[in-house]
Amino acid sequence: MISIIIPTYNEARYIKRTLQQFNALKDRKNFEVIVSDGCSTDNTVMVAEKYADKVIVSKKKLTIAAGRDNGVKIAKGDILIFLDADIQVPSVNIFFRKVKEIFKNPRIVAATTKVYIRPAEATLFDKTFHFLFSHLYFVLNFLHYGVARGECQIIRKDVFLKIKGYDKRLVAGEDFDLFYRLGKVGKIHYFRDLVVYESRRRYERMGYPKVLALWFMNYMSVIFFKRSYSKEWEPAR
């Protein structure tokens, strides 16, 4: 079984569409969709309870790392797929068939994909930036520097538990930290032929220079000092 885990906090605008896309799965019984909510104040939970298989709700606001880990606690799958609440997966059956195929290789402990802006929203700059950034991630993984964006992280559950999952103390950079540790225990596969799409909300709200600077500072901080550079990761809603 594959467990799809989606952490949420006030994601009512996107969560319905994100969850509905999995209705197209042909072998739906071999998947479970889990929403792990961090004490939303909108109707995210109400929507999630209608479309997800399982919903776990925290009584207090969580780091996204803690939210993802809470989802793992109720997951039955041997493969965990962490997606953000605004992520769209084109051709879901092809996507998950390729995921299943690559994990037949016992050396593969984790995988990730390209992350682009939704085509209907993407500007030329968006397309260029994410094309180049995805190639950077491919090269880093090819050189055995485990790295993946939190928008789409695919991991063997037994390995995830072995390395004790996400560091729940981290408010940002938890995705970099996890894949850095995964890269030390096994092979990470980068799907050059698969892509997921995110909204451009964070880039609109913060601008690319600030987003890129925060990514870099948090990456360096969690790798070398085991703590986030950011004091809080500002939601982009």
Average pLDDT, the chain: 95
Angle at 15 between CA 68 and CA 93, to 5 degrees: 85
Strand order in the sheet with 54-57: 54-57, 31-37, 2-8, 79-83, 152-156, 108-117, 187-198
Parallel, antiparallel, or unpaired: how do β-strands 152-156 and 79-83 relate? antiparallel
The domain spans of the chain are 2-225
Fold of the 2-225 domain: Spore Coat Polysaccharide Biosynthesis Protein SpsA; Chain A (3.90.550)
How many angstroms separate the CA atoms of 39 and 59, rounded? 6
Q: What is the pLDDT of residues 23-54, one digit of tens each?
A: 999 888 899 999 999 999 999 999 999 999 99
**What are the pLDDT digits (tens) for 200-218?**
999 999 999 999 999 999 9
C-beta of residue 93 within 8 angstroms of C-beta of residue 87: no
